[in-house]
Structure 1
Amino acid sequence: MPEWNKKAFQMSMGDFSEDFIRKVAIVLAVVGFFVHILVWALFKTENITINGDASELVKSPLSTLYTPFSILLVYEVYQLIRTIPDSFSSSVGKQYEIATLLVVRDILKRLSGVQNSEDWKISADLGFLLVECMAFLVLLYTSLTYFRMSNSSEKSEEMTDDIAIFVEAKRGIANAMLLIFLATAAYSFYTWVDSVQEGGGSVSRVIFFLDFFTFLILADILILLISYWFYTDFGNLARNTGFVLSTVIIRVAISSEGVSSMILFTLSGLIGIAILRIFTQNNSKINI
């Protein structure tokens, strides 16, 4: 069983597979960008008609950036799953990257609909755009600071039998999460296409990411429970519980709207940095 588990992980998320999927994601992002531009041009010249909520994807040339960013976000989710066997902190760091890109994608989407004003009055859309930009800067700083602190605090541990079993268990969870990721992505895309055909088709960060982060929370809790079998000290339990809390806050932020969502995204990042700083200063084991 462990050998099969390891082979499955290497085939789907090993170095060779990761490099291939990265190149595929880049190609798809470029192709998707040009296809979206073509659809926008056809819509603008009235050669095609797009009705319903899906029309927001073609109301401006800036809207064409939504497709490549969405593809890159899907690739980042794959990278997140790939880091699960490494450590809790590595996985959480990837979650911050995803949160940052989600905010960037929302900013690009909102820019396409901002109306010009001839006076000094700031519209509600422009005001919220400013809030989103501030949240992006905070999240970007959080992501960079988090990885700098995490890399500087990681320790090399001897691969004991207990640690090897723990890593193998996390590798199995990563394999299961990859299947869930593929199923959730396929279901989300199918339901969105079906919604477009019925006159809907609105796009938001809730699509796919809300369901995926629900499963990710369950996976994190399972890893937390398994880790307590091997690491019984309160420090590691509290640290990993804090990381689970950070994931839950990201999930709530995804489902929220307005300023509250930006506050929650920022709060999640600050909690992660605070936890890492506290346990780095106390020389706790980081890389588990």
Structure 2
Amino acid sequence: MSLIIEKVHHLYDPLHCLWENKKTQRTVTALLIGVFVSSLLIIELNRINLLPQSLGQVIPTNPFYAVYLAFSLLLLTELISLIFILPCSISKAVGKQFEILALIFLRNAFKELIHFSEPIKLAGQMDAVLRIGAYGLGALIIFVLLSFYYKQQFKRYDTGSGAALFMFVGAKKLVALILLFLFMVLAVYNVSSLVGGHEKIEFFAEFYTILVFSDVLIVLISHSFFPHFKDIFRNSGFAISTLLMRLSLTAPAYFNVLIGVSAAIFALFLAMAYKRSFVEKNV
């Protein structure tokens, strides 16, 4: 088993370094900007009927589609960052999940603008305006809650021997590699479905479903290294918060924001209670 974990470290570490490399991040940023600008240009060409009819039928004419596309790609990069954060800290990974959820709410707010015609008029669009307000408010509340959530993080010193820690981190890296593989499978499937004209899956909802199972797997893995009740409860509670986030992604308008904010409040109180249990122990 130790040999497998060692190979996992050797496979994971170069991938992590490659993704976190400044050159890689600059390249990703340049690609996002390029996609956004080029999609705006293509949409504008379609609006003035300069594209072939075959392309004009499948390319939208509302420029806010470009914003939606750019945000979707940005969220994909954030998901990759989430995968690489997981072995470092479970609590930080949960915080990253909420960061992504807040960005999804902002993306949904921009998506509502697709229903508006040019020039933008509010007449007959009050439902969309209310949804934009709900998504924006939900994202803001999660942003504020996260600032308090991260303040609850603390460094533990009872993490066991070096060998045990090496095995535990290696097991989490193995989970991260599996998540990265499934991420690529979902991405390839969605792209092939889009090209082939087949029905796509809801990418972020499906990936958060996978995250729920990965969280449960980490609960089971961590039980061998941290068998205390408070550790099991915290990790299981984080799995519940991920489940609530997953439910919010497919819930109806307004309810999705309510569930997402409730998940953030739950995670915050869980982190506060967990930190307090250590403070009381050391008093």
What TM-score bracket applies, with the shorter chain setting the length? 0.7 to 0.9
Tell me the SS of whatever aligns to 1:283. Answer: helix
Which residue is 1:155 aligned to? 156
Report deviation, 1:230.
1.7
Report deviation, 1:144.
2.5
User: Over aligned residues, Cα RMSD in angstroms?
Assistant: 2.3
Question: Is the CA contact 1:166–1:230 (under 8 Å) kept in the aligned structure 2?
Answer: yes
Question: Is the CA contact 1:235–1:284 (under 8 Å) kept in the aligned structure 2?
Answer: no
Please tell me whether residue 282 in structure 1 is matched to residue 277 in structure 2: yes
Report deviation, 1:282.
1.6
Which residue is 1:273 aligned to? 268
Report deviation, 1:166.
1.1
Amino acid at match of 1:183: V
Question: Is the CA contact 1:253–1:260 (under 8 Å) kept in the aligned structure 2?
Answer: yes
Which residue is 2:67 aligned to? 65
Partner Cα separation in structure 1 for residue 187 and residue 152 of structure 2? 32
Q: Choose from 131, 134, 142 the match for 1:131.
A: 134
Partner Cα separation in structure 2 for residue 144 and residue 22 of structure 1? 24
How many percent identity over aligned positions? 22
1:66-215 map, 5 Å:
66-114=68-116, 116-117=121-122, 123-150=126-153, 153-157=154-158, 160=161, 161-195=163-197, 207-215=202-210
Structure 1's consecutive aligned runs of 4 or more residues displaced over 4 angstroms after TM superposition are 156-159
Amino acid at match of 2:135: E
Which residue is 2:48 aligned to? 45
Question: Is the CA contact 2:109–2:131 (under 8 Å) kept in the aligned structure 1?
Answer: no
With the length of structure 2 as denominator, give the TM-score of the two structures: 0.87
Which residue is 2:11 aligned to? 8
Which residue is 2:240 aligned to? 245
Partner Cα separation in structure 1 for residue 107 and residue 271 of structure 2? 28
Report deviation, 1:34.
1.1
Partner Cα separation in structure 2 for residue 38 and residue 167 of structure 1? 46
Report deviation, 1:67.
2.2
More RCO (CA 8 Å, sep 6+): 1
Question: Is the CA contact 1:22–1:75 (under 8 Å) kept in the aligned structure 2?
Answer: no
Amino acid at match of 1:155: R
Tell me the SS of whatever aligns to 2:73. Answer: helix
Instruction: Show structure 2 runs of 5+ residues with no match.
Output: none
Partner Cα separation in structure 2 for residue 157 and residue 30 of structure 1? 45
Question: Is the CA contact 1:253–1:262 (under 8 Å) kept in the aligned structure 2?
Answer: yes
Partner Cα separation in structure 1 for residue 114 and residue 180 of structure 2? 33
Report deviation, 1:157.
4.8
Which residue is 1:32 aligned to? 35
- Matched length: 269
Question: Is the CA contact 1:135–1:263 (under 8 Å) kept in the aligned structure 2?
Answer: yes
Report deviation, 1:217.
1.3
Report deviation, 1:284.
7.0
Please tell me whether residue 264 in structure 1 is matched to residue 259 in structure 2: yes
CA 1:232/1:32 → structure 2, altered by over 3 Å: closer, same or farther?
same
Report deviation, 1:43.
1.1
Report deviation, 1:22.
2.0
With the length of structure 1 as denominator, give the TM-score of the two structures: 0.85
Report deviation, 1:142.
2.2
Instruction: Show structure 1 runs of 5+ residues with no match.
Output: none
Amino acid at match of 2:271: L
